[in-house]
A and B are shown apart, each in its own frame.
Chain A
Amino acid sequence: MRRKEFLENIRHRTRSGRYQPTRAPDASWTPGRRAAAAREVGDPPSRFLEELAALGGHGRRVKDLEGARDYVVELARERGARLLVRWDVEELERLGADGPLREAGVEVAVWRDLEDFREVAGRADIGLSTAEWAIAETGSLVLESGPGKGRTVAILPPVYVAVVPVERLVRTVPEAIRMYAGRGSLPQNLCFHTGPSRSGDIEQSLATGVHGPGEVHVLLLG
């Protein structure tokens, strides 16, 4: 009932209005000729790494799973990590980092052992996940929520690592959005995550890791 009235009121106003906004001439934004809609992204993997580095993230191309595994274990050791929380997905199984991490004294928490990611992710030193896609033009990761893919893994721990096969790079933001626009059903939570958490609220000075991870590592696999 309430909804009906509400929408009725709006319908009445939109239909009864005689005023049709006209477009003001657009001198400052309209170029002489239409610019090409496609943007140049020559070599997506190196562009991705450049963009991520410019944001203060750490990116690296690794040629095989072994390289990625060593990086993760070494990072955990360097940071003195005691607890790592990770997604329960096939790719991270194949990474095979759990054993070496445990040997290095790092506890590994995986989805299937958990009731709720939130509590564990809140205590974890490192979060580890994959990503659905990565966007070269902006250095972004595209993260979907779903079974085994906790949202808090990428946001609560101070250090966040993602392992992404290089074939999953797309060039631009519009390309990434169009991939989801064509879909029947969207994931509950989809996030374009671009570099470490940052704030410029205090005198425009950059402060990283103010709520989310201050350290973001992306390993491009292959």
Chain B
Amino acid sequence: MEKTGTEERARREGLASGVEGFNGRARRALADPELHDSIALFTRKTLKGRAARLAELPDAPELRERAYHIKQETMANLDRYLGQMADAVEARGGNVFFAETGEDVVRYVGELAREKGAKVITKSKSMATEEIELNRRLEEEYGELGLEVVETDLGEWIAQLAGDAPSHIVAPIMHMNRHQIARVLSGVAGEPLPPDVKALAGFARRRLREKFLAADIGISGANFGVAQTGTVCLVTNEGNGRLVTSVPPVHVVVMGIEKLVPRFEDLEVFVQLLARNGTGQKLTVYTSFITGPRGADELDGPEEFHLILMDNGRSKLLGTEFEEALYCIRCGSCLNVCPVYRQTGGHAYGSTYSGPIGAVITPLLKGDREAKDLPHASSLCGACWETCPVGIPLHDLLLKLRNRQVDEGLAGKAQEIAFKGFEEAVERPALYRAGARLGRVAQRPLVRDGSVRRLPPPLSGWTDFRDLPPLAERSFRELWREGID
């Protein structure tokens, strides 16, 4: 019942946007050389910057340990910290709303827009609102208000104009090159714009400037929320986050409940790790700490501050073996190092969150059936865990998810039989030896240039995407018996 509930919710939440079919999408991505160039350019540069910035930080390892422990402490006491956060925000004159689902968020923002007679909403990039497709749903479900919801992060805006989803947590249009971007923006400009970075950015500045100044409501996400002080921390490079939260009379924050940290000084750990890991900067250009609406004696800043604390499936992971997935700070570095992501790009995952962390949290939030392929979109090399600034054992969680699929009977009959058979064989030495001998004979016609490139069906599923090293002519056990020189 739990499972159907989750899937039903996923559909309602607009999350059921075709997460199945990773293989098909990955195959298309593999055949796209432009995409490969874009990904290679981005990841190479970012990883180099990341390594250099971390090397400058002698206490980086300690920071990682502290980050993990702070998150562990937060999750174990999440109810208390959420309550504390809400109290602190209210004490500073802000409003707090607890949203069980994405639908609750949409309704709250929609009704607020109606009450304010809002026309233009400016948004700073937020994965939480991507997850619940806030823009589309506001425009559809509150069509009578005629709302214009504008993304203001340059990449996110271009993605919005192109009708495209972001393909990377940090760099949303990493998959597009400047020629493609020029085509999109030329359409908006009504005249051809040159594929020149400066010209394109200049056009964006002029266009978005009007929106910033006209906006009735600004919506942002939150990189961190501080329970103790009711502060929301927001990091951006372009300054759009600072404009969205300073210029309109109303500021709405949509924050996943897992983004909390207990104390203000905890930010010392996370702020340093986020920028260094995410973009290879010491700090992003704007690191803002916002506590409530503007004071009575201030002449700018929002008059109203609304904090929406969104669950949307997250609390299900608390106290389970998947809890660590909630420690993620969305730096995106696990995507950059992942050999699968680097070949396929983010769209292959068919989910808001791509890469290793996406392969973990998508099935956890949407249900195993909806995101069946994703835990398999990994080589389990552990690079994601190694790079994670909070030390989330991502490869471990991926294995646990694969396990859960088997328990739920989602893994497919052939796989089940194969692994059952393997289990039998390794438990009985005679059977194992016989099997190995048989395998050595059977593989002979298949070995080419020292590897097995293609197995007959149903085993072809394995070799479609990999070469298989052949079984050795003589096994280790045989060599051992004969005595090794």
Interface residues of A (CB under 8 A from B): 2-3, 6-11, 13-19, 21, 23-24, 26, 28-31, 34-37, 39, 51, 111, 114-118, 121-122, 137-138, 140, 145-147, 149-152, 155-156, 173-174, 177-178, 180-181, 186-205, 207, 209-213
Q: Specify which chain A residues have a CB less than 8 angstroms from the CB of B482 in the assembled complex.
A: none
Contact A3 B98 (CB under 8 A): yes
Contacts of B26 in A (CB 8 A): none
Which residue of chain B is the closest to A55 with respect to CB atoms?
A: B285
B240 and chain A: residue at smallest CB distance: A211
> What are 13 inter-chain pairs, A to B, with CB distance below 8 A?
A21-B324, A35-B58, A145-B298, A145-B301, A156-B247, A188-B291, A189-B288, A193-B285, A195-B285, A197-B238, A202-B173, A211-B208, A211-B243
> Of B272, B283, B385, which is in contact with the most chain A CB atoms at under 10 Å from its CB?
B283
For chain B residues 231-261, which have a beta carbon within 8 Å of chain A? 231, 237-240, 242-243, 245-247, 257
In the complex, per-residue mask of B55-82: 1 if CB is within 8 Å of any chain A CB, else 0: 0011111101100100010011111001
Q: How far is the CA of A75 from the CA of B421 in the complex (A)?
A: 78
Contacting residue for B287 out of A147, A155, A191, A211, CB 8 A: A191
Task: Given A24-B385, A173-B268, A173-B272, decide whether A155 and B246 contact each other with a Cβ distance below 8 A.
Answer: yes
Q: A165 → chain B, closest Cβ, in Å?
A: 22
Minimum CB–CB distance from A122 to chain B (whole Å) comes to: 5
Give every chain A residue within 8 A of B321 (Cβ-Cβ). Answer: 19, 21
B205 to A, closest residue via Cβ = A210
Chain A residues within an 8 Å CB radius of B82: 6-7, 10
How far, in angstroms, from A156 to B242 measured CA to CA in the complex?
A: 10
Main secondary structure of the interface of A (DSSP, over half): loop
> Which chain B residues border A194 with CB–CB below 8 Å?
281-287
State whether B289 touches A191 (Cβ < 8 A): yes
Cβ of B267 within 8 Å of any chain A Cβ, yes or no, is: yes
Given A145-B294, A173-B271, the answer on whether A13 and B315 have CB atoms closer than 8 Å is yes
Instruction: Give the interface segment out of B196-204, B355-363, B422-430, B455-463.
Output: B196-204
When C-beta atoms are compared, the residue in chain A nearest to B91 turns out to be A185
A116 to B64, CA, bound (A): 43
Check if B239 sits within 8 Å of A155, measured CB to CB: yes
Asked if A13 and B265 make an inter-chain contact with CB atoms under 8 angstroms apart, the answer reads no
A156 to chain B minimum Cβ distance, whole angstroms, is 8
B contact set with A: CB distance below 8 Å: 38, 41-42, 45, 57-62, 64-65, 68, 72, 75-79, 82-83, 86, 92, 96, 98, 100, 152-155, 158, 171-173, 177-178, 181, 197-198, 200-201, 204-205, 208-209, 212-213, 229, 231, 237-240, 242-243, 245-247, 257, 263-265, 267-268, 271-272, 279, 281-295, 297-301, 309, 311, 315-316, 318-321, 323-324, 385-386, 391, 393, 396
A31 in contact with B61 (CB, 8 Å): yes
A14 and B75 within 8 A (CB): yes
Rounded to whole Å, the gap between the CB of A35 and the closest CB of chain B is 4
What is the number of contacts between chain A and chain B, taking CB atoms within 8 Å? 266
CB distance from A88 to the nearest CB of B (A): 9
Bound-state Cα–Cα, A178 to B172, Å:
33
Query: Contacts A6-B98, A24-B385, A173-B283 known; A191 to B242 CB distance under 8 Å?
Result: yes
| Least CB distance, B69 to chain A, in whole angstroms | 8
Contact A212 B238 (CB under 8 A): yes
Is the CB–CB distance between A196 and B285 below 8 Å?
yes
Taking a contact as CB atoms under 8 Å apart, the answer to whether B288 and A210 are in contact is no
CB distance from B185 to the nearest CB of A (A): 10
Residue of chain A at shortest CB distance from B295: A188
A181 nearest CB across to chain B (Å):
4
List B contacts of A196 (CB < 8 A): 285
B318 to A13, Cβ gap below 8 A?
yes
Contact A181-B285, Cβ < 8 Å, known A7-B79, A146-B298, A198-B238: no
Check A186–B282 contact: CB distance below 8 A.
no
Q: Please give me the residue from chain A that is nearest to B300 by CB atom.
A: A117
Given contacts A188-B292, A199-B237, contact A26 B64 (CB under 8 A): yes
Contact of B246 among A21, A187, A189, A199 (CB under 8 A): A189
> In the complex, are the beta carbons of A200 and B291 less than 8 A apart?
no
Give CA–CA (A114, B300) in the complex, Å: 11
B396 and A24: CB pair below 8 A? Answer: yes
Contact A155 B172 (CB under 8 A): no
